[in-house]
Amino acid sequence: MREAPNGTKPVKLIAAACNSMGIGLNGYLPWNLPNEFKYLLDTITRVTQPGKKNLLLWGRQSFETFDESLLPLPNCIIALLSRKLSTVPPYVSYLCKNEEEILKFASTPPLNDEIETIWVLGGVESYKNLMQHPWCNHIYFTKIMADFECDTFFPEFDKNIFKLKENFPGVPSGIQEENGVKYVFQVYQRDLLVDLL
């Protein structure tokens, strides 16, 4: 597995998208897939070392549509991206104007001793910016095998750089089905050989 350089933290993107790569409509998920959503929660809250936490990087609009009754999330610290907010909302630990500011926090003491993984939960600009960042090593992607009306779309990514990994540890394999909708959990891993070329 590709490790982040010393002093940095692995950045991982996580999203679910339908056939058109749509991820949202009017700020909300266009589908109702509780088991898929539980997979997301289980993934972003899982840590391998006791006492460690994951840093969740969230765009303001994505965060505002999240079910507040689920907060605070276990083993998680929330960093919110916003150029408009001046006060830190409930359950948020850090308010930053851009992704680099958050990454700097995460890799600087004392926070870097506490953080295990940085999970990017949207929005689209954060996905686009951070998938190109050298710390980004995985895209956790739920491929929803159906068509939904969407107004927000996951950015295209180079599958020669991020390669689909079969039977990835901790990720259910095979086609899942829920409420008549089929989907499959996928993980794309950055190809280290491409980085070295």
CA–CA dist 123, 81 (Å, integer)? 9
Angstrom distances, CA of residue 96 to CA of 71, 117, 136: 20, 18, 19
Nearest to 58 by CA among 32, 35, 26, 27: 27
CA–CA dist 82, 97 (Å, integer)? 5
pTM: 0.93
CA–CA dist 127, 72 (Å, integer)? 23
Partnered with residue 143 across adjacent β-strands are 17, 184
Class of the 11-196 domain?
A: alpha beta
Active-site annotation holder among 3, 13, 25, 29: 29
Please give the distance of CA 188 from its chain centroid, rounded to a whole number: 12
Please name the residue that has the structure tokens 């898929």.
36
- Asked about 29 being catalytic, the answer comes back as yes
H or E element that contains 157 = none
Active-site annotation holder among 33, 36, 56, 95: 36
- Compute the CA torsion angle 136, 140, 146, 150 (nearest 10 deg): -50
Task: Check whether 165 has a pLDDT greater than 70.
Answer: yes
pLDDT band at 194 (very low <50, low <70, confident <90, very high): low
Contacts of 194 (CB under 8 A, 6+ apart): 160, 161
- Give 61-71 pLDDT, tens digit per residue: 899 999 999 99
Mean pLDDT of the chain: 92
- Asked about 111 being catalytic, the answer comes back as no
Task: Check whether 6 has a pLDDT greater than 60.
Answer: no
Q: At what angle do helices 99-106 and 124-131 cross, to 10 degrees?
A: 60
In this predicted model, which residue has the larger pLDDT, 150 or 62? 150
Dihedral sign, CA of 80, 83, 88, 94? positive
Residue type, 1: M
